[in-house]
Amino acid sequence: MADSNEQIVRNFCAAMSRRDLHELLEFFMEDAVYHNMPLAAVKGRDAIAQVFKQFVSPAEEIDWEIVNISSVGDVVFTERVDRFVMGGKKVELPVAGVFEMTAGKISAWRDYFDMATFTNQAS
């Protein structure tokens, strides 16, 4: 199961580059929790969609590089470099992500990153 959970997370990260909100939301359980640690957690696909609209929709390009990935049971850990082009500006953000999986879907996702690193590059 760990291998398939890791593959699902790999597929999700790769899907970010296509910026298709419908496709991205299909990776989540209906009542999933998404927490970008500098911000408040949100629950449910509709709330996750609203967060995605803040950075997926306006991005001209997205590329998430998985530097390291590991899993224990239904928990997948990632070390990533999330790259965006937004308003013509390039943003490169080191991120540590934790994905909790249930029945092949993301049931919880927490990303840890420095918000100042993002805002300094995006502004």
Q: Does residue 31 carry a catalytic annotation? A: no
Q: From the candidates 63, 74, 111, 114, give the one annotated as an active-site residue.
A: 111
Q: Does residue 114 carry a catalytic annotation? A: no
Strand order in the sheet with 28-36: 42-43, 28-36, 105-112, 89-102, 75-86, 59-72
Q: From the candidates 3, 20, 74, 82, give the one annotated as an active-site residue.
A: 82
- List active site positions: 82, 111
